[in-house]
């Protein structure tokens, strides 16, 4: 009887110890898992803090940066193409509108339009606006310019914008020998200012207008032939009036391309529609080269039969340097 009771108590004690052992193992397992969770959460918090600081740093850099609008628009266009979306240029509609105005004015053959992220650039041949060595706008030029100004006012009301206008005057590289203007600088500045005056007369906001005279510092074609003589076709291209209609967000005047780049592009001309050209250097319509060659700014076109005889030391017609200057090569010493 006593043996049975002892065995029973021993078995109960063993079961109790086993139960306590199981409880202890569960406690140890729970404590280990809880410690690991605390370590994981601590690492995640540190990583999140670092990412937040980096995000704030790049946001600060972006807030101080200045976007290049034309390049930004190109990026938007490429992204839209890659993802199958449609890209709408903020200046394309203005380009089409101005193209229609130029066509209605009947000067599309003497005009080139360029559309980019800055706005719309209209390049007029100088013969549309001015006579030789004159800053008075011709009747044909006044009619075309008034149509552009009126159309610009309509577009501003339609889009609820105030466009900035920059007028550039460019001349060819021949020096001025006589006349009212002592150099090409004064001539180009007077011509651009006269165009700006027409905007002012129509009530355009003066703070949105800029007049620039570049003289002959921004040619779009080499002025000299390989033999040193003047290139009449290139001179006709270089004489031009440029009208830049800029978006309101543009806060800097886009400069024309440097002469080196202009000469490189002139060596490889691009055949394009003279009414609307996108993202290329403004150039006079190649189809007009033969016409321009006969009307240099130096003098009105005259035939050999009607050309008057002048002394050798007389000034050339129009007060400009002669169209061709003979180039002599000095003899080499033996």
Q: Which residue has the tokens 């030029």?
A: 141
- What is the reported pLDDT for 90? 75
- pLDDT band of residue 244 (cuts 50, 70, 90) is very high
Show me where the domains of the chain are located.
92-293
Pick the residue with more confidence: 240 or 83? 240
- What is the reported pLDDT for 4? 61
Q: What is the pTM of this model?
A: 0.60
Flag the least confident range among 65-69, 120-124, 147-151, 208-212: 65-69
- pLDDT band of residue 117 (cuts 50, 70, 90) is confident
- What is the reported pLDDT for 198? 94
pLDDT, one tens digit per residue, over 187-223 is 999 999 999 999 999 999 999 999 999 999 999 888 8
For residues 271-280, give the mean pLDDT.
36
Provide the CATH number for the domain formed by 92-293 in this structure.
3.30.1330.60
């Amino acid at each position: 009887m006593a043996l049975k009771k002892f065995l029973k108590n021993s078995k109960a004690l063993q079961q109790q110890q086993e139960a306590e052992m199981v409880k202890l193992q569960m406690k140890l397992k729970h404590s280990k898992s809880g410690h690991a969770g605390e370590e994981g959460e601590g690492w995640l918090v540190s990583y999140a803090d670092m990412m937040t600081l980096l995000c704030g740093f790049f946001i600060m850099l972006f807030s101080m940066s200045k976007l290049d609008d034309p390049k930004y628009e190109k990026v938007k266009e490429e992204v839209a193409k890659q993802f199958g979306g449609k890209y709408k240029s903020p200046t394309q509609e203005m380009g089409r509108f101005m193209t229609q105005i130029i066509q209605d004015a009947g000067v599309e053959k003497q005009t080139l339009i360029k559309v980019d992220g800055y706005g719309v650039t209209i390049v007029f041949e100088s013969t549309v606006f001015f006579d030789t060595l004159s800053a008075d706008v011709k009747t044909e030029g006044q009619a075309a310019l008034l149509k552009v100004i009126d159309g610009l006012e309509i577009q501003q009301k339609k889009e609820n914008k105030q466009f900035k206008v920059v007028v550039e005057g460019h001349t060819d590289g021949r020096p001025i020998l006589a006349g009212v203007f002592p150099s090409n600088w004064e001539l180009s500045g007077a011509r651009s200012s006269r165009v700006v005056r027409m905007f002012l007369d129509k009530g355009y906001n003066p703070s949105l207008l800029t007049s620039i005279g570049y003289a002959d510092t921004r040619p779009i074609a080499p002025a000299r032939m390989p033999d040193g003589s003047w290139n009449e076709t290139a001179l006709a291209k270089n004489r031009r009036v440029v009208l830049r209609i800029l978006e309101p967000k543009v806060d800097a005047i886009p400069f024309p391309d440097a002469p080196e780049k202009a000469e490189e592009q002139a060596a490889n001309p691009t055949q394009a529609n003279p009414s609307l050209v996108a993202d290329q250097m403004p150039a006079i319509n190649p189809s007009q080269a033969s016409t321009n060659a006969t009307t240099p700014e130096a003098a009105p076109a005259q035939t050999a039969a009607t050309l008057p005889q002048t002394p050798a030391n007389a000034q050339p017609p129009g007060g400009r340097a002669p169209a061709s200057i003979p180039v002599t090569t000095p003899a080499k010493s033996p």
